[in-house]
Amino acid sequence: MPYSLKGRNVLITGGSRLLFLANPEILVGELICLKFAEEGCNVAINYNSSADRAEGVAKKVEHDHGMKAFTVQGKDCIRVVQESISKLGGLDVIISNAGHTRFSNFGDLNDTTIEDWDLCYAVNVKAHVFLMREALATFNSNQDGGAFIITSSIAGRIPGGSSMPYAVTKAAQLHLMRCLASTQGPKVRVNAVLPGFLGTEWGDRYGQERIMEMREKAYLKQDTDLDDAAQAFIDIARNMSMTGQRIQVDSGLGQND
C-alpha cells in the first residue's frame, strides 16, 4: 500500500534554493518543502547562504500548514543529518536536492577549472554518500524504512548542459543512485528525479536561441513545469515498490539521447 507521508520527518538539502538554479523566481527546493508540508510532514530545511529565504520557507511550513520546521545551515552532511534527527525527533525521508555547476562552454576543455571538477564531484556525488551513511541507521530502525531521493538532471544522460563537469558528475550521481539502491535495501528506497529545462532566471542564461532549440526538441514543445518537477518527489516518496529508478520530468527533452 502507498507510504503515508502524514507525520513523517523530511530533510531537504538546498531547501531554500536549488543550487544549480541560481536565484530563480520560483525555487524548486522551496516548492518541494511546501509540498511535503502540505502532506503533513515536518521539514528540516538545509541551506548554504540563503538564510532569509530559508527562514521564509520555514515560516510558510509552520504558519500555512501547521507543521514543524527548522533551518540548518552548512555543507557538513553529517552534522546536517544529526541535527535534523535531533530536532525533528527522527528522520524518514531525505531529499538530496543541493547541486553545483558553473556555466562554461561545454566543448571548450580550457573553459573549466580543476576547482569546477572537484566542486561538482564533491557536491553532486560525494555528498549523497555522506548523507546516506549518516541516516542509514535511523532509516533501518524505522518501521517503514526510509526514502532517499536525489535531485538529478537530464544532463546526466545526454552530453550537454551548463558545463561538462556538471554533466559528468550528474551521470556518476545516477550510477551512485543505483549502487545505493542495490546495496542499502530492503528498508531503504533510493531514486532520482531528472528535471528538464526549467524556465527560470538560471535557465535564461542559456540565451533565447538555445532555449527555443530546447523547447522545439522537447516532445511536448514546452519547458518543464516547476510544480510538476516538485510533485515527482512526493509521488516517489509515497511509492513503496520503487527503488533504483530515474524519473524524468522533462517534457520529453531528454528522450532523444
As a 3-state breakdown, the chain gives helix, strand, coil percent values, each rounded to 5, of 45, 15, 40
The confidence score (pLDDT) of residue 32 equals 93
CATH number for the domain that contains residue 120? 3.40.50.720
pTM for the whole thing? 0.90
In sequence order, which residues have a C-beta less than 8 Å from that of residue 8 and are 6 or more positions away? 36, 39, 40, 41, 42, 92, 93
Helix, coil or strand: residue 169: helix
Q: State the chain's mean pLDDT as an integer.
A: 89
The confidence score (pLDDT) of residue 111 equals 95
Number of domains in the chain: 1
**What integer is the mean pLDDT of 225-233?**
91
Whether residue 176 lies inside any domain: the answer is: yes
What is the DSSP track for 8-41?
A: -EEEETTTT--TTS-S-SS-HHHHHHHHHHHTT-
In sequence order, which residues have a C-beta less than 8 Å from that of residue 104 and are 6 or more positions away? 111, 112, 116, 162, 163, 164
Whether residue 91 lies inside any domain: the answer is: yes
Q: Residue 173: is its pLDDT beyond 90? A: yes
Whether residue 183 lies inside any domain: the answer is: yes
- The residue behind cell 518541494 is 32
Segment 153-163, tens digit of pLDDT: 999 998 988 89
Whether residue 125 lies inside any domain: the answer is: yes
**What integer is the mean pLDDT of 165-170?**
96
* C-alpha cell of residue 93: 525521508
Order of strands, edge to edge, in the sheet holding 188-195?
Answer: 69-73, 42-47, 9-12, 93-96, 146-151, 188-195, 246-249
Whether residue 253 lies inside any domain: the answer is: no
Whether residue 119 lies inside any domain: the answer is: yes
Single out the residue of 209, 235, 214 nearest to residue 224, CA to CA. 214
Radius of gyration for the alpha carbons in the chain, expressed in angstroms and rounded: 17
Q: How far from the centroid of its chain's Cα atoms is residue 206's Cα?
A: 21
Q: Which domain holds residue 26?
A: 9-244
Decide if 149 contacts 36 (C-beta within 8 A).
Answer: no
The confidence score (pLDDT) of residue 255 equals 75
Whether residue 204 lies inside any domain: the answer is: yes
Segment 6-38, tens digit of pLDDT: 999 999 997 654 433 333 333 578 899 999 999
The confidence score (pLDDT) of residue 223 equals 82
Whether residue 256 lies inside any domain: the answer is: no
